[in-house]
Structure 1
Amino acid sequence: MKNEPIISLSNVTKRIGRTTIIDDLTFDVPKGEIFGFLGPNGAGKTTTIRMIVGLMSITKGQILIKGKSIKTEFEQAIRHVGAIVESPEMYKYLSGYQNLVHYARMVPGVTKERIDEVVSLVRMEKRIHDKVKKYSLGMRQRLGVAQALLHRPSLLILDEPTNGLDPAGIRELRDYLRHLTRTEGITVIVSSHLLSEMELMCDRVAILQQGKLVNVMPIQHFTGENDQAQTYLIEAQPPEQALRALRQIDGVQEAKLTEEGLVEVATERERIPDILEGLMQNDIRIRIYGVQVVSQSLEERFLEITGGKQIG
């Protein structure tokens, strides 16, 4: 059973002069979830993150972190947050470990044991005593995450954490964030323009457009896997006879042949067993070799929702 949200935004609005940057934004994120933040260029993603961490004031509305208001109880609220709003800044002439020790001096209660623990969490034991100037961008990102975790936050916020990372580094970050949510119970909010990675990384995604929240849904809902009406590909021989038979079966909304010789069927998930049984009981012997669901990618769904506008 879910407890109260780690972070809750209620009717959050940001105006600069007469321009509304963020318009009545409301959503909750529970414990242990990776929450993706998507939107076209200028949608207001970074502005929202800056308001969450207190770098920008809120014109109207409320942001609560573990029940504490960013507006009126900032110190109590922000102690639960670790964040990398832009690229992590480190002292390059110091080692990774020395950077963590330096930061730990500014945060009460961070022990040597905790430093060693976060080094292990981000899997940097072998390189932590090397100078930061020798680190790859991916290693600097990991060191930044380690720094953000030192004070045991409940909420980790990462703004475009995959920028500049190679595919191996992106996968490593994705796996690491999954590990964090499972072992530490940390909630993660991540903003990114790499839709394919967000699809693999996140539990839920929110789409923001022109400062307004378009929708918040689980990844499988965005990609259509839980829709009642779904498209399936059926590999059957002979395909032409299968197509004719399918068009006579109750529950088949649409059926057609693809260029690859598969039968594409639009129907509800619950109807699939009856449809297959109907095919096999047909007068003409039809052999069925496979059935697969056709999922809409997050990118396709995003472009559909935002009218084809670029992400950024």
Structure 2
Amino acid sequence: MNEQPVVQLRGVTKKIGTRTIVDDLSFDVMPGEIFGFLGPNGAGKTTTIRMMVGLISMTSGEVTIEGLSVVKEFERAMVRVGAIVENPELYKFMTGYQNLEHYARMVPGGVDKARIDEVIALVKLEQRIQDKVKTYSLGMRQRLGVAQAILHKPSVLILDEPTNGLDPEGIRELRDYLRHLSRTEGIAVIVSSHLLSEMELMCDRVAIIQNGKLLDVRTFKETQEGEEGLTIRFELDPIERARTIAAGMVRDAEISADEHSVTLRLTREMTAKLNAEFVAAGIQVYGIGQVTKSLEDQFLEVTRGNRIV
């Protein structure tokens, strides 16, 4: 895969007086991915985003957008960025369409009607685009804000806590739309949030930040079987007989068992073979499932021991 990162952070740091708000952050964001920026309130997420879009200065480090320095080539870099920091700025007394027309006039080189219609369809606002924004729900305003942010076909869309204030239906609509956008437009989407469940459903990768430090970057695409196989849990009875069979078939495997199940690492092929052995031995197999850690489990695993008391 020879794709180059759309966004690169290298050693990004922000200090205010003696306090370090953001501490030496480095990560890449690739084209077409939804990249989550996860951490508790006060972790430094919004400060980092503000530095990425040039709203505040960095103490040290560098941010590049498609290889262009946000500090040295600000205007050229920002042409490639669409962003909503906090709430989208909209004129409530104007229609959704008039808002987009107004913003299109401010884009260098302009935006034609075909592109305006295209983004309206992308955010699925065709039925309400001629209504005044003051009649829109919060979720519709958020989608109109996204439409405004991508009018000029940016390479990256940056959203700071975009689900704040949305009801469950609005959150789901925004999540589905961002996935559609990243796939159809190839835009890299950076989303900051403190909501673990939403990040797990929305993102391809998640950067975990705490106290201004990057603790880890985790991938949450569909689980791929690695060299060690998958963690498989068999629900069966009797347990002791099943454990003996598993130990005989899978040498040097770490096997855990409770009164209802046996769990171990297996390839897909070995899962089928072991199940056949259980059945042949007269063991009742009630269920077979893959065991995965939730984002919440992984977040707590990474942040434990990094808290400031």
Q: Do the structures match in fold with TM over 0.5?
A: yes
Deviation at 1:89, TM superposition (A): 2.2
> What is the identity, as a one-letter code, of the residue corresponding to 1:264?
V
Contact 1:29/1:35 (<8 A) preserved: yes
Counterpart of 1:33?
Answer: 33
Counterpart of 1:267?
Answer: 265
Contact 1:251/1:268 (<8 A) preserved: no
1:307 aligns with 2:297: no
Contact 2:38/2:192 (<8 A) preserved: yes
> What is the identity, as a one-letter code, of the residue corresponding to 1:307?
R
Counterpart of 2:69?
Answer: 69
Query: 1:86, 1:120 → 2: CA distance?
Result: 24
Counterpart of 2:291?
Answer: 294
Structure 2 residue matching 1:291: 3-state secondary structure: strand
Counterpart of 1:59?
Answer: 59
Query: 2:118, 2:21 → 1: CA distance?
Result: 40
Contact 2:6/2:188 (<8 A) preserved: yes
Unaligned 5+ residue runs, structure 1? none
Q: Deviations along 1:254-278, whole A, 9 cap, x unmatched? A: 23225xx3x1313344653554354
Query: 1:30, 1:177 → 2: CA distance?
Result: 15
* Distance verdict in 2 for CA 1:40–1:224, change over 3 Å: farther
* Distance verdict in 2 for CA 1:57–1:196, change over 3 Å: same
Query: 1:25, 1:255 → 2: CA distance?
Result: 38
Query: 1:297, 1:161 → 2: CA distance?
Result: 22
Structure 1 residue matching 2:94: 3-state secondary structure: coil
* Distance verdict in 2 for CA 1:301–1:229, change over 3 Å: farther
Structure 2 residue matching 1:168: 3-state secondary structure: helix
> What is the identity, as a one-letter code, of the residue corresponding to 2:137?
S
> What is the identity, as a one-letter code, of the residue corresponding to 2:298?
R
Query: 2:224, 2:43 → 1: CA distance?
Result: 24
Number of corresponding residues = 304
Query: 2:22, 2:226 → 1: CA distance?
Result: 30
Query: 2:34, 2:93 → 1: CA distance?
Result: 33
Structure 1 residue matching 2:106: 3-state secondary structure: coil
Structure 1 residue matching 2:131: 3-state secondary structure: coil
Structure 1 stretches (4+) deviating beyond 6 angstroms?
A: none
> What is the identity, as a one-letter code, of the residue corresponding to 1:192?
S
Structure 2 residue matching 1:100: 3-state secondary structure: helix
Counterpart of 1:4?
Answer: 4
Deviation at 1:107, TM superposition (A): 1.1
Deviation at 1:192, TM superposition (A): 1.4
Contact 2:31/2:188 (<8 A) preserved: yes
Structure 2 residue matching 1:105: 3-state secondary structure: helix
1:49 aligns with 2:49: yes
* Distance verdict in 2 for CA 1:169–1:181, change over 3 Å: same
Deviation at 1:196, TM superposition (A): 1.2
Q: How does 1:105-144 map to 2 (within 5 A)?
A: 105-108=105-108, 109-144=110-145
Once structures 1 and 2 are overlaid, which stretch shifts more, 50-59 or 193-202?
A: 193-202
> What is the identity, as a one-letter code, of the residue corresponding to 2:264?
A
Identity level (%): 59
**How big is the alpha-carbon RMSD for the aligned residues of Structure 1 and Structure 2?**
2.4
> What is the identity, as a one-letter code, of the residue corresponding to 1:110?
V
Deviation at 1:244, TM superposition (A): 4.5
Contact 1:231/1:264 (<8 A) preserved: no
Counterpart of 1:22?
Answer: 22
Query: 2:229, 2:211 → 1: CA distance?
Result: 30
Counterpart of 1:202?
Answer: 203
TM-score between both structures, scaled by the size of structure 1: 0.89
Query: 1:298, 1:97 → 2: CA distance?
Result: 39
> What is the identity, as a one-letter code, of the residue corresponding to 2:15?
R
Query: 2:277, 2:41 → 1: CA distance?
Result: 49
Counterpart of 1:103?
Answer: 103
* Distance verdict in 2 for CA 1:308–1:231, change over 3 Å: farther
Deviation at 1:280, TM superposition (A): 4.5
Structure 1 residue matching 2:83: 3-state secondary structure: strand
Contact 1:246/1:255 (<8 A) preserved: no
> What is the identity, as a one-letter code, of the residue corresponding to 1:62?
E
Q: Quick one: which of 282, 285, 293 aligns to 1:285?
A: 282
